């Protein structure tokens, strides 16, 4: 069986061309993939422009969730499935037929009167067997839930980002979040959370105040220029 090869640069170029044409290509997971069965299939949804690390977004067959993988975790080579060995045919040897016993002559058989026919008896009623209780159909095995981690990060200037990890897979890359949304969410959390992020929220407020002052100054300058043009 040929060795499974990971995605090469040529494969990635072909994948990008298929995505541009609206045809999500099919790939298979290699042994390097974690948390998914080796040889399982998936569809590539998108490619990150960074082309480094886990930048390939895929959706595994039979799942609604997406995940990010690296080129070493995927391959375009379809895995070879092992076929079951055919059952051995049983060989039966015919045994030689036993010799038939000699047939006695009619004159050698003593005469015996035939016995009277037996009296017919009414058959006893047969009770129908009770129906067997229906067996409960076992519930289809469900996928074991994994841990979901949501991480909020803030810069010293008060800019916030959020990322989500599903088990060992990062399903949402760092995405910008408005500080106002973070402040709203903090109000429904314990007070200790609000106190811990208050410094970052204060930095965001200060930055917005500076922006308002700058815009107000620009507006006043524009109104003054308009007044001078109007005479």
Identify whether 159 is part of a domain: yes
Residue 111 lies in a domain: no
Domain boundary among 58, 75, 92: 75
How many domains is the chain partitioned into structurally? 2
pTM of the model: 0.39
Residue 61 placed within a domain? yes
User: What local confidence, expressed as pLDDT, does residue 115 receive?
Assistant: 62
Residue finishing a domain among 75, 105, 124? 75
Does residue 101 sit within a domain? no
Per-residue confidence in pLDDT tens, the chain, 231 aa: 445 689 999 999 999 999 999 999 999 999 999 889 999 999 999 998 877 888 999 999 998 999 999 999 999 999 887 665 555 454 445 455 555 555 544 445 555 556 666 665 565 666 666 666 556 555 554 566 778 888 888 888 778 798 888 777 888 888 888 888 988 888 888 888 888 888 888 888 888 888 878 979 998 998 989 988 997
Is residue 155 included in any domain, yes or no?
yes
Residue 94 domain flag:
no
Domain assignment present for 208: yes
> What is the CATH number for 26?
2.30.30
> The domain containing residue 35 runs over which residues?
9-75
For the chain, the DSSP string reads: -PPP----HHHHHHHHHHHHTT-PPEEEE-TT-SSS-TT-EEEEEEE-TT-SSS-EEEEETT-S-EEEE-GGGEESSPPPPPPPPPPPPPP-PPPPPPPPPPPPPGGGSPP-PPPPPPPP-PPPPPPPPPPPPPPPPPPPPPPPP--EEEEEEE-TTS-EEEEEEETTEEEEEEEEE-HHHHHHHHHTS-HHHHHHHHHHHHHHHHHHHHHHHHHHHHHHHHHHHHHHHH-
């Amino acid at each position: 069986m040929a060795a499974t090869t990971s995605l090469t640069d040529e494969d990635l170029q072909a994948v990008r061309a298929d995505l541009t044409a609206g045809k999500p290509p099919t790939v298979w997971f290699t042994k390097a993939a974690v948390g998914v069965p080796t040889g399982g299939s998936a569809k590539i949804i998108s490619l990150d422009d960074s082309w480094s690390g886990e930048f390939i977004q895929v959706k595994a067959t039979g799942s609604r969730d997406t995940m990010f993988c690296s080129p070493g975790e995927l391959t375009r080579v379809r895995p070879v499935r092992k076929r079951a060995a055919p059952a051995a045919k049983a060989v039966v040897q015919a045994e030689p037929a036993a010799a038939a016993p000699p047939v006695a002559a009619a004159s050698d058989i003593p005469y015996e009167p035939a016995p009277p026919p037996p009296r017919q008896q009414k058959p006893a009623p047969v009770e129908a067997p009770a129906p067997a209780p229906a067996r409960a159909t076992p519930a289809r095995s469900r996928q074991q839930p994994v841990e979901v981690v949501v991480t909020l990060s803030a810069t010293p200037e008060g800019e916030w980002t959020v990322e989500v990890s599903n088990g060992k897979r990062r399903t949402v890359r760092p995405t910008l979040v408005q500080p106002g949304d973070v402040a709203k969410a903090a109000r429904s959390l314990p007070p200790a959370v609000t106190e811990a992020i208050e410094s970052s929220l204060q930095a965001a407020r200060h930055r917005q105040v500076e922006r308002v002052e700058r815009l107000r100054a620009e507006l006043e300058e524009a109104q003054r220029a308009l007044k001078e043009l109007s005479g």
